[in-house]
Chains A and B, each alone.
Chain A
Amino acid sequence: MDIKIPTVAALAVEGKVPEILFWVGCAGSFDERYKNVTKAFVKILNKVGVDFAVLGPEETCTGDPARRAGNDFLFQMQAMANIQVLNGYGIKTIVTACPHCFNTLKNEYPELGGNYQVVHHSTYLQQLIDEGKVIQKGAKTAFKGRKITFHDSCYLGRANNIYEAPRKVLEALDAELVEMKRCKTKGLCCGAGGGQMFKDAEKGNKEVNIERTEEALETQADTIAVACPFCMTMMSDGVKNKEKEGSVQVQDLAELIAESEGL
């Protein structure tokens, strides 16, 4: 397949505005592991033939980590600059694979003049499945007989009440979905939100990601599905710490879909 990754700027030269802006996010752009999620999602978008584009080098941090760590000046600087770019291009719909970007774009940009329809990739993937564009209903996938547990991201779940979409995506894979004891509204954080990703944890008796990984491993699932770059890092580190990386994978929803589609 010939992969196309148009930028919004290139489309603008032709006088076009993409139907969907794929907001990649910093982790999706730089983090070695999460770049794979970005690539998987772009492959899916290509396969489906959606009219999408990315900002490419014009994208910058949404300001979320600065805001959670208390620096609202920096957040508003970032947000305002991004809004100028987005409004300048006339962007209407944004899809992102990062719940932190999703939350900030959706809930915190409107007060600064950025009004878009913002969709998390779990919801978007669910729509594609519902429309029959990926994974035909009843299709046999490579996941038959596998056990998957889903780790709720706080910024998707409690922050924005998205619990069902990622589960629907996993159910479409025809795998056995097993829940951890603490799931959905009671889901335990991976430990990286609120700026924790960017500093060492305070003194305690355990790392949050170890606590969560132990719970995920208790389900006997062979795959821990995540939908957030920070959760991806924390859960992968947790699995490595427990020396289970040989038998348990941590994968994003988009990667699982791409894999089952043979992309």
Chain B
Amino acid sequence: MSIISQVIFTVILGIFVFFIAKRVNFIRLNIALGRPQKVVGNKRQRWKNVLLIALGQKKMFKKPVPAVLHLLIYVGFVLINIEVLEIILDGVLGSHRIFTSLLSDFYAPLISFFEILAIGVIFSCVLFLLRRNVIQVARFQKPEMKGWASLDGNLILVIEIILMGAILSMNATDQLLQGMGNAAYPLTGSFLVSSWLMPIFDGYLPSTLVIIERMAWWFHIVGIFGFALYVTYSKHLHIFMAFPNTYFSKLTPKGAMEPMPEITSEVKMMLGIPVEGETTPPLEGFKFGARDVSDLSRKNLMDAYTCTECGRCTAECPANLTGKKLSPRKIMMDTRDRMEEIGKSRSDAKVHDEKFLLGGFISKEEINACTSCNACVEACPVLINPLDIILQLRRYEAMEASGSPASWNAMFQNVETNAAPWKFSPQDRFNWSEELKNDK
């Protein structure tokens, strides 16, 4: 390979690294908008979650059919990337299939194995496209999936199919060129899948084959760089975020709401209970609950970047199932969209002061419809918690904005004055005991 192509390749690689680093930093800063959180509890359990749930995809298998298809893409993606390492080395060093000499007899079986995985990826992507567009699985047809969200999902599948096609074409033409004794193409032995594709390219002039092989090579590697960059703008970011996200997810029972220690001292003073020991003073800019992404926790924001919009949460949500506006998936999408909006204009005060997550993206009607049943939390394969965001927004409505529904305000009043959420006299609380004694 000429030195020119080495230089071009290295420049492309450099540009790719630059843009990816820029984008990663952008996302990092967006997540850092959130409140810092202490990571407490068992590290062992956290790593176990990463291994079982992110790496092992345990929760995916609640739905076996998509789980198997997804596993094919996942395994293909992770393992075929070993070949990308070879391609990058070849590109920079000007070598061709640098691993051939390194692995000698193992090279062809390894590439053949990757090719089988590539077929698995293509198979799954085609079926996923059918599920989205022909069978029209209900959870992909919800209102929040119109436009970009739907296009994003389809684009990813199509790009994956094209990239796999490029690998196979590259390997097929490579083998033809090997057979012609082209010195630039050292003998590797036959590849299991692409050798079946050789007839397609048979009959071309050797010079044409070199062009096809090189084009497929460049297309594949530049395509992978482009795809990796695209992923950081897309819902597909779950392939990386699933790992930190499962590590940082809460370990307490699902029923336990996020504590609010910032107000505890005040409550104690109101009740005349002495405040002793360590208190948690409110942070600067502290609000009761969340109005915007900056009031949410960093884990909430990480959740939003982790969401791949599969909609298992929404498909299980009792409110959504009965036609209410609430969709847990939309809560996560809105949170991410709002972060992106703020991130793009960090210095623009208008974006910060005139629009908020609550009201600007998520309506009261949505958050009020939640039954806090945890079905969405249970359904998420990567431990995202939409419920926590909903409850933080409700806190803002109740404690900062006096915006709770009138019947909830009445309930609050009952709890305060009658010590029960209904309007019963506290004196009647123990009446049941007399009724029971008089029963007999």
A26 to B369, CA, bound (A): 23
Our pick among A56, A68, A200, A206 for the contact of B407 (Cβ within 8 Å) is: A200
Closest Cβ–Cβ distance, residue B212 to chain A (whole Å): 51
Bound CA span A7–B391, Å: 36
Q: Tell me if B378 is interfacial: C-beta within 8 Å of chain A.
A: yes
CA distance A260 to B391 in the complex (A): 41
Beta-carbon nearest neighbor of B365 in chain A: A202
A138 in contact (CB, < 8 A): no
Contact B264 A112 (CB under 8 A): yes
Asked if B227 lies at the interface with its beta carbon under 8 angstroms from chain A, I say no
Considering only residues 1-45 of chain A, those with a C-beta below 8 Å from chain B are 1, 3, 5, 7, 24, 26, 28-31, 35, 38-39, 42-43
**Cβ-defined contact, B322 with A5, below 8 A:** no
Q: Does A246 contact B (CB under 8 A)?
A: no
Instruction: Decide if B255 touches A203 in the complex (CB within 8 Å).
Output: no
List residues of chain A with CB within 8 A of the CB of B316.
186
How many whole Å from B434's CB to the nearest CB in chain A?
Answer: 9
Asked if A67 and B267 sit within 8 Å, CB to CB, the answer is: no
Which residue of the partner chain B has the closest CB to A26? B420
Closest Cβ–Cβ distance, residue A5 to chain B (whole Å): 4
Q: What is the total number of residues of chain A having a CB less than 8 Å from a CB of chain B? A: 74
Given A57-B427, A204-B322, are A154 and B253 also a contact pair (CB < 8 Å)? no
Nearest B-chain residue to A79, judged by Cβ: B267
Q: Pick from A35, A68, A155, A211: contact of B322, CB below 8 A.
A: A211
A156-189 interface (Cβ within 8 A of B)? 158-161, 185-186, 188-189
Pick the residue among A1, A38, A69, A111 that contacts B432 (CB under 8 A). Answer: A38
Which one of A70-78, A125-133, A218-226, A248-256 is at the B interface?
A70-78
**A interface residues (Cβ-Cβ under 8 A, vs B):** 1, 3, 5, 7, 24, 26, 28-31, 35, 38-39, 42-43, 54, 56-57, 59-61, 63, 65-74, 76-78, 80-81, 84, 103, 106-108, 111-112, 154-155, 158-161, 185-186, 188-189, 191-208, 211-212
29 A–B pairs (Cβ distance < 8 Å), ordered by A: A3-B437, A5-B437, A7-B430, A29-B424, A29-B430, A29-B431, A39-B439, A57-B427, A61-B415, A70-B393, A72-B260, A76-B264, A80-B271, A111-B259, A158-B254, A158-B373, A159-B255, A161-B253, A186-B375, A189-B371, A191-B322, A191-B371, A195-B411, A197-B421, A199-B407, A208-B318, A208-B322, A208-B371, A211-B321
